[in-house]
Amino acid sequence: MALPQNPWSFDAAMKTLVSTLQDPMGSNICASRLSLAEARVTAELNTRSSMAGKTKFAKSHPELLRAGIRFLTFKRSPSEFAALINHLVDCQCDFEQSGMREQHILGKRASEGLSMYAMRHTFNAAIECINMVLIATTKNKFYRRDRSLAERKQPWPLSPEDLLPYGVDDAIQAWGFWATSDAAGYVIYKLAATLGSFYDPLAVAIIQSPDYTFSLRRPMEILTTMMDDFEKDPATMQQEVEYPIRATFDFFEMLLPHSEQFIPALRDMSSTVTPALDRLRRLLPSLPGFSTWKYNPEEMITLALSIANDPEFHAPVLADMAEWAFNEMIAIRKGGCNYVFCPRTRDNAHASRCASCDLARFCSKECQTKAWKMQQAPHKTVCAKIRALKDQLGQPFWAKLWTNGMTGEDALGLVQAKGVDLDDVSEIGRLLNMIMSLKGMSRDFGVS
Q: Is residue 339 a contact point for Zn ion (CB under 5 A)?
A: yes
Tell me which stretch binds Zn ion (CB under 5 A): 212-220, 382-390, 410-418, 431-439: 382-390
Tell me which stretch binds Zn ion (CB under 5 A): 40-48, 233-241, 307-315, 365-373: 365-373
Q: Is residue 199 a contact point for Zn ion (CB under 5 A)?
A: no
Comparing CB distances to Zn ion, the nearer of 239 and 345 is 345
CA gap 131, 80 in Å, rounded: 27
- Hey, what amino acid is at 367? C
Q: Is residue 337 a contact point for Zn ion (CB under 5 A)?
A: yes
Q: Is residue 342 a contact point for Zn ion (CB under 5 A)?
A: yes
Could you tell me the smallest distance in angstroms from the CB atom of residue 372 to Zn ion? 8
Q: Which of residues 49-108 bind Zn ion (CB under 5 A)?
A: 91, 93
Q: From the list 41, 191, 383, 422, which residue makes contact with Zn ion (rule: CB under 5 A)?
A: 383
Bridge partners (DSSP) of residue 352 are 362
Could you tell me the smallest distance in angstroms from the CB atom of residue 9 to Zn ion? 18
Comparing CB distances to Zn ion, the nearer of 95 and 282 is 95
Could you tell me the smallest distance in angstroms from the CB atom of residue 366 to Zn ion? 7
Comparing CB distances to Zn ion, the nearer of 192 and 383 is 383
Q: Is residue 27 a contact point for Zn ion (CB under 5 A)?
A: no
Could you tell me the smallest distance in angstroms from the CB atom of residue 419 to Zn ion? 24
Residues 6+ apart with CB under 8 A from 373: 380
Could you tell me how many residues make up the chain?
448
Tell me which stretch binds Zn ion (CB under 5 A): 177-185, 258-266, 283-291, 330-338: 330-338
Greatest Cα pair distance, the chain, in angstroms, is 82
| CA of residue 192 relative to chain centroid, distance | 8
Q: From the list 367, 374, 401, 432, which residue makes contact with Zn ion (rule: CB under 5 A)?
A: 367
What would the x/- binding string for Zn ion be over residues 109 to 138, using CB under 5 A?
Answer: --x---------------------------
Tell me which stretch binds Zn ion (CB under 5 A): 194-202, 238-246, 247-255, 342-350: 342-350
Q: Is residue 354 a contact point for Zn ion (CB under 5 A)?
A: yes
What would the x/- binding string for Zn ion be over residues 234 to 253, using CB under 5 A?
Answer: --------------------
Q: Is residue 31 a contact point for Zn ion (CB under 5 A)?
A: no
Comparing CB distances to Zn ion, the nearer of 9 and 369 is 369
Comparing CB distances to Zn ion, the nearer of 193 and 382 is 382
Q: Is residue 356 a contact point for Zn ion (CB under 5 A)?
A: yes
Q: Is residue 357 a contact point for Zn ion (CB under 5 A)?
A: yes
Q: From the list 18, 21, 30, 69, which residue makes contact with Zn ion (rule: CB under 5 A)?
A: 30
Comparing CB distances to Zn ion, the nearer of 91 and 280 is 91
**Cα distances (Å, whole numbers) of residue 54 to 127, 133, 443:** 13, 9, 13
- Given a contact cutoff of 8 angstroms between Cβ atoms, the answer to whether 169 and 207 are in contact is no
Q: How many residues contact Zn ion, by CB under 5 A?
A: 14
Could you tell me the smallest distance in angstroms from the CB atom of residue 112 to Zn ion? 8
Tell me which stretch binds Zn ion (CB under 5 A): 129-137, 146-154, 324-332, 377-385: 377-385
Q: Is residue 341 a contact point for Zn ion (CB under 5 A)?
A: no
Report the 3 state secondary structure along the chain: CCCCCCCCCHHHHHHHHHHHHHCCCCCCCCHHHHHHHHHHHHHHHHCCCCHHHHHHHHHCCHHHHHHHHHHHHCCCCHHHHHHHHHHHHCCCCCCCCCCCHHHCCCHHHHHHCCCHHHHHHCCHHHHHHHHHHHHCCCCCCCCCCCCCCCHHHCCCCCCHHHHCCCCHHHHHHHHHHHCCCCHHHHHHHHHHHHHHHHCHHHHHHHHCCHHHHHHHHHHHHHHHHHHHHHHHCHHHHHHHHHHHHHHHHHHHHHHCCCHHHHHHHHHHCHHHHHHHHHHHHHHHHHCCCHHHCCCCCHHHHHHHHHHHHCCCCCCCCHHHHHHHHHHHHHHHHHCCECCCCCCCCCCCCCCEECCCCCCCEECCHHHHHHHHHCCCCCHHHHHHHHHHHHHHHCHHHHHHHCCCCCCHHHHHHHHHHCCCCHHHHHHHHHHHHHHHHHHHHHHHCCCC
Comparing CB distances to Zn ion, the nearer of 228 and 347 is 347
Could you tell me the smallest distance in angstroms from the CB atom of residue 364 to Zn ion? 6
Q: Is residue 305 a contact point for Zn ion (CB under 5 A)?
A: no
What is the binding site for Zn ion (CB under 5 A)? 30, 32, 91, 93, 111, 337, 339, 342, 354, 356-357, 363, 367, 383
